[in-house]
Structure 1
């Protein structure tokens, strides 16, 4: 990643870190899935009428929406409603970093470099230190739901990266079309029609301000930038920057909710930042030897004085294109 993309990744981490406090502050008595549906309705209108669809298949757009938006945030909002504190939610959700790199290695054959692996390991260590530093207990169901949100985010990251879509904002907006209706239906099933009506009535000014922030900054700006970064950089060079989210989430909860961080949280946050700096030292990746060999077919050996001619397909055999590198 170049310096500009690194700065954009850091900006996204700040926006998303503050997002957890805003969600917790605005949700109130509104059912979590209904609250999330309102967020994505605000993402869609009016932006969907102003942006052309991204130049990728519709199944890809829908898959990004299902995993990165519906899956990730559906689990996150329900987890927070079940008792997951905002700062700890920002921490647990960063399990997506390691999951994304693992999935990208298997699915996209993107092999992280040594510094990226060291940086991710340092970031994971920082997450553990922060987790122990928080102390206390959270409901097991809230923790499991938050981890499921991290898995959904990781899958969405890999799908976005594989799509190669250059319009990150367009992909964010158009993928949101698949989100609101399933969320409203799920809310009716899980919370009941009566709770849904009460939630609409309880949707006050705090919920409105929170929705504007989560839709405008966290989704449109944040994911617009993030999907754009994934389209032009490897997954292993982008996602480690998101490990900066927990320190921002904990710091904003300290300033706004008077949740004073412990020594362990401060030390863990410092390790996280250092891990991101290490991981950002290089953006090269090692690919499968077979892919390197395939990509070099037909290239002349300049050190060989013997003229070389490319292999021609046998009569009646169609020429095979070289495999594309994601």
Structure 2
């Protein structure tokens, strides 16, 4: 399911995922199609390896929505260097490498590509993305919600940046990306032990692209931290009405079965439109998530006057707090 046919008027949208993120990616695609029924779309799914069941779901996406969905198996791409070929880059994960690989593979197919993380839901019309002027810029980006602290950390490593963007949404000018050797230079930064980049390819791209990107309105990448919302007991969706993409940053995601936030219902609404409509939500917990969730639950139970249930949740909270401490 790969293509070399160039569709000049189409919006090409690419994802770099592993098998675990195929389900939320499919829901992301459903949300885009639902909110943009008249937009000419081409989707690209980059993945290292995929099961037969996962491949069948991806193939159903094209049948379900009527737009091309091209599957790019990274391990099978001819003429593309594996990150492990260079010994200094051997530790870099395939997931990290995939995002850097996308412009290289799509050159000649499209001049622009919209890269999206798979923990994003589309909330509105994105047709005017093609009006973003990046003729002389390598990408259009949105400032990271923790921009100042990110810049300070890189500054301590000798990397002074004018600003810092979140790499979950990138509208890429492919010819300029290729001309600037962005992927190769970012891999070099990742492989530099003196930098020890905390945020992997996001840090590397910020270093390499400093001054070469256009910062656009945060409506294109509204970074939404569910952990902070739950800690404050806030369960309603509270995003600006003109938001185009809701990006669920941090470890807490809307597709968790135990998620009490209304983001879960939003996710389920779009999931019902996708080939994953019958897929159960994730019911796994990390220790950190149990800690955050139990803290939220005991406070909510106390607020509602459910004292016994609140005490039970408070006991779980203290247990996790002790174990984590």
Q: Which has the larger radius of gyration?
A: 1
Identify the structure with bigger relative contact order (alpha carbons < 8 Å, sequence gap 6+). Answer: 1
Give the structure with the higher percent strand.
Answer: 2
TM-score where L is the length of structure 2: 0.26
TM-score where L is the length of structure 1: 0.26
Give the structure with the higher percent helix.
Answer: 1
